[in-house]
């Protein structure tokens, strides 16, 4: 491939990496031509494009796009699925195809700037698609249609962010114990801070007794006056 052609391919990959809602990296070693065509048709229905590039060019594009985390997967017979819409149907298409064709391996992906490993892609595939979520939202809400339409448009404008939040919520496992353990440590030190305050009354007792020592002198003066 001539240098101008290589530059053009690198620019094409960079543009796709930067514009796609999500990117999924797969290994297709062992898939027949017919199976690859079947996978492409399935992904096209999910609004995704499945492309095979020379890996040296794909790696250069990832580096120039600041996506070095993708480099670990850009090796060997690799194809990339670029999701242009809701990433959930794309993840589901890849998961379902891999389940029935062991020669397809989903390595990982990129969603809203976050790197997803293979397990995270499978979890993303289990989330309900955006249109299903919106349908449930429409059925559950009793707000005026104009207000509901505004909410739907807001969700549609930020599909990657919405899906990433759902994915993070699904992936979280027992996040509370760590922070609680550190938060309790200062509370354990509070009794030590109270000890000096408890000693202060004892230091004031001698000062309280001094006026009592002056009373006899007052009585002597009264006796002297009587003698006179």
Q: Give the confidence band of 142 by pLDDT, cuts at 50, 70, 90.
A: low
For residue range 103-133, list pLDDT tens digits in order: 999 999 999 888 999 999 999 898 876 666 6
Q: Residue 40 in contact with residue 50, Cβ under 8 Å?
A: yes
Q: Average model confidence (pLDDT) for the chain?
A: 75
pLDDT in tens, 67-104: 999 999 999 999 999 998 889 999 999 999 999 999 99
CA gap 134, 137 in Å, rounded: 5
Cα dihedral value 160, 116, 114, 166, nearest 10: 40
Higher-confidence position of 45 and 187 = 45
What is the mean predicted confidence (pLDDT) over 56-69?
A: 94
Q: Output the pLDDT for position 127.
A: 83
For 1-47, the pLDDT digits (tens) are: 778 899 999 999 999 999 999 999 999 999 999 999 999 999 999 99
Res 191: pLDDT: 46
* Burial (Cβ within 10 Å: 0-12, 13-18, ≥19) of residue 191: exposed
| Res. 198: pLDDT tops 90 | no
């Amino acid at each position: 491939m001539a240098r101008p052609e290589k530059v053009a391919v690198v620019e094409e990959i960079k543009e796709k990496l930067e514009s796609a809602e999500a990117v999924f990296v797969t290994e297709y070693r062992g898939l027949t031509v017919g199976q690859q065509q079947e996978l492409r048709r399935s992904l096209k229905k999910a609004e995704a494009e499945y492309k095979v590039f020379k890996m040296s060019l794909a790696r250069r594009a990832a580096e120039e796009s600041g996506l070095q985390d993708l480099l670990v997967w850009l090796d060997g017979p690799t194809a990339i699925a670029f999701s242009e819409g809701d990433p959930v149907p794309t993840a589901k298409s890849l998961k379902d195809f891999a389940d029935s064709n062991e020669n397809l391996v989903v390595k990982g992906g990129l969603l809203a700037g976050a790197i997803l490993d293979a397990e995270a892609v499978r979890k993303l595939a289990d989330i309900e698609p955006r249109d299903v979520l919106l349908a449930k939202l429409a059925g559950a809400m009793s707000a005026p249609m104009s207000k509901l339409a505004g909410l739907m448009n807001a969700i549609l404008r930020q599909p990657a962010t919405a899906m990433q939040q759902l994915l993070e919520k699904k992936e979280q496992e027992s996040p509370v114990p760590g922070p609680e353990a550190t938060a309790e440590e200062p509370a354990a030190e509070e009794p030590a801070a109270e000890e000096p305050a408890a000693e202060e009354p004892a230091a004031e007792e001698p000062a309280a007794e001094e006026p009592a020592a002056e009373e006899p002198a007052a009585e002597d003066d009264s006796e002297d006056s009587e003698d006179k």
